Amino acid sequence: MPISSIRKQGFTLIEVLLSIVIAVIIFAALSKGMIGGGFLLKQVENKSRACGVGAAKMEEYLAKSYSSPDLEDGNYTGDPVDYGSKPVFDWTVNVEKKWMGDDASTVDQEGIPYKLISVTAAYDETDYNKISHRKNIRFVNMVPYPYIHTNIKTSTTSVSVPYNSYTELIEIPVSYEVDKDLMIIYNIAIKVNDATDLKATDTIFTKCFVDSEEENIETRTPIITQPLISNVVGVNNVSKGEHTVYVKWYKDVNSGSISLKEINVIVVAFEHKQS
């Protein structure tokens, strides 16, 4: 066998240095990635907190009724929400009245009204280069005009029943932003102070009026035998705006003295259904 020379050569300095440089680059990239991940996490947590503030504020305003003074058109703000660590979160609520189906170019205020609620939560955030930026989170929702409205009024004022012509017993002012169908329910308790010359057929008449228009349904109640009067009247297509609902009464006999003990009126208004 010939003499063989086995050449064992290690890494050169260049190879070693190159390996180190490559390793350092890889580690630098990984480190930057991890630090960037931490920064991203911070951003996500800030956004999550801002969402919490915005959602809680939105829920607070959605809990308010359509006619609440807190839901008048305008901007509302208050103390910033401080979670105990930076950043703090400023919030603004904007309320704007709008109408469903309204033409945005003409805004004729037709259709069902609603309150558009926009909640903005804002906070300062420092970016990777230590530059501060203002960040905003915005939520939008609405409070619609209620489908049903009720007005209730009670009176115990002692007024006497007039003779022969309808006279106002009670009035209830109502105001609606859309056309409504009304259901007017009233219960009257009377007190006979003097029954002299009253006959069993003598009667009290009651009727409902919306503004000056009288409704067709009239109750006719014998005075002596029936001290309670109840009636339910439906009034369709009451136009939007302010109106007054009246309950009026009279008796068909001039004798006797009859007065009011108590009256309860409930006006239930539903959104008018187009037929």
| Residues contributing to the site for another protein (CB under 8 A) | 1, 3-8, 16, 20, 23, 27, 30-31, 34, 37-38, 41-42, 45-46, 48-49, 52-53, 55-60, 62-64, 70, 81, 83-85
Min CB(1)–another protein separation in Å: 5
Min CB(81)–another protein separation in Å: 8
Cβ distance to another protein smaller for residue 47 or 240:
47
> What distance in Å separates the CA atoms of residue 197 and residue 234, rounded to the nearest whole number?
36
Cβ distance to another protein smaller for residue 33 or 173:
33
CA 255 to chain centre: 53
How far, CA to CA in Å, does 178 sit from each of 27, 30, 109, 154? 69, 64, 10, 26
Min CB(118)–another protein separation in Å: 16
What burial letters (b/e) apply to 59-81, b meaning 16+ CB within 10 Å?
A: eebeeeebeeeebeeeebeeeeb
Cβ distance to another protein smaller for residue 26 or 100:
26
Half-sphere exposure of 251 (CA within 13 A, CB side): 25
> What distance in Å separates the CA atoms of residue 30 and residue 39, rounded to the nearest whole number?
14
Min CB(37)–another protein separation in Å: 7
Cβ distance to another protein smaller for residue 36 or 173:
36
Min CB(52)–another protein separation in Å: 5
What burial letters (b/e) apply to 88-122, b meaning 16+ CB within 10 Å?
A: bbbbbbbbeebbeeeeeeeeeeeeebbbebbbbbb
Cβ distance to another protein smaller for residue 63 or 228:
63
Cβ distance to another protein smaller for residue 83 or 147:
83
Min CB(174)–another protein separation in Å: 24
Q: Which two tokens stand for residue 198?
A: 């009253």
Contact 149, 175 (CB under 8 A): no
